Each structure stands twice: as C-alpha cells, then as structure tokens.
Amino acid sequence: MDYEKIVAEMGFTLPPPPTPAGNYLPAVRSGNLLFMAGTLPIRDGAITHAGQLGRDLDVTAGYAAAQICALNTLAAFTGAAGSLDKLTRIVLVNGFVNAVAGFADSPAVINGASDLFVKIFGDRGRHARAAVAVAGLPKNAAVEIQCVIEIGG
C-alpha cells in the first residue's frame, strides 16, 4: 500500500521529520514498537495553533491542530522507519489539549488525529487513546499528541 500517496490524495503533505527541541529522540524502537515523542502543531518552524481551547480557540481549530500533530508524527515515523509503508498499526494515541479548567471536549479535539489516522490507514489506524485537557503545553501549543506505532520489517 502506498500510504504517502493516500496522504497526498487527501490534500496533505508530510513535512520533513521534526528535529528534537531537547535531549531526546523523535522515536525509540523496542521490538516491533516505535515509541514516538510528542508532536506539536508546527509548520515551517512555527506553531500553527497557539492558545487555550475554550478561551482562545474552539473545537474546530483544535481538531485542525490535532491533524497537524498527526502529520508531524507520521513525518517522524517516516524519518525513523524510512517509509509509511512500514507502519503495521497505530497502537496508542495520547492527546493533550491546552485548555481552560473544566474543558470537556478534549476527545472531540483529539479526533482530528484519530480520524486522520483511520482515513489514511483504515483499520490499521484504529488505536487505543487518551484525550486529556492540560493547563499548558510547550510553546503555548493548543495540542500535543504522542503515539506508539507498530512497525513491520
């Protein structure tokens, strides 16, 4: 399956693999699992969606931010694995939403990443998930996601 072609047909492009902003790796392999570092909604070196959900941004903006995080995660996967075609399954998505106290729509925001993974990979994109609101994220990003991905080959 040519997953990169599917991404392009959906109107998306994978950015270059992200460069770590600290003393960590973008992906660590253990057996057939890649533990991906958290990704932010960054394009061309800048945060695309900054601020808190429920104050500065709405769920629609958060959903779009989560999609960008998912694309950045796939870019990091490609950097580690060489190709999206080596992806066997998205196993786990942890989604963090920079939100005001009491924000109850974190799952709807993180659906941006989950929906994109399923559209690209079908059943291989279905995963376990957590979607939680937090008081802040690096660079005031609206969303951060972290994934565990099964790799073949």
Domain locations in the chain as residue ranges: 3-14+29-151
Contact 85, 1 (CB under 8 A): yes
For the record, the structure tokens of 75 come out as 């870019």
- How confident is the model over 24-62, as pLDDT tens digits? 999 999 999 999 999 999 999 999 999 999 999 999 999
- How confident is the model over 128-145, as pLDDT tens digits? 999 999 999 999 999 999
The residue assigned the tokens 């270059």 is 16
Binning pLDDT at 50, 70 and 90, where does residue 80 land?
very high
Ramachandran category for residue 11: left, alpha or beta (phi over 0 → left; psi -120 to 50 → alpha): left
The predicted pLDDT at position 19 comes to 84
Alpha carbon 124 to chain centroid, angstroms = 15
Q: Is the dihedral of CA 114, 116, 119, 121 positive or negative?
A: negative
CATH topology of domain 3-14+29-151: 60s Ribosomal Protein L30; Chain: A; (3.30.1330)
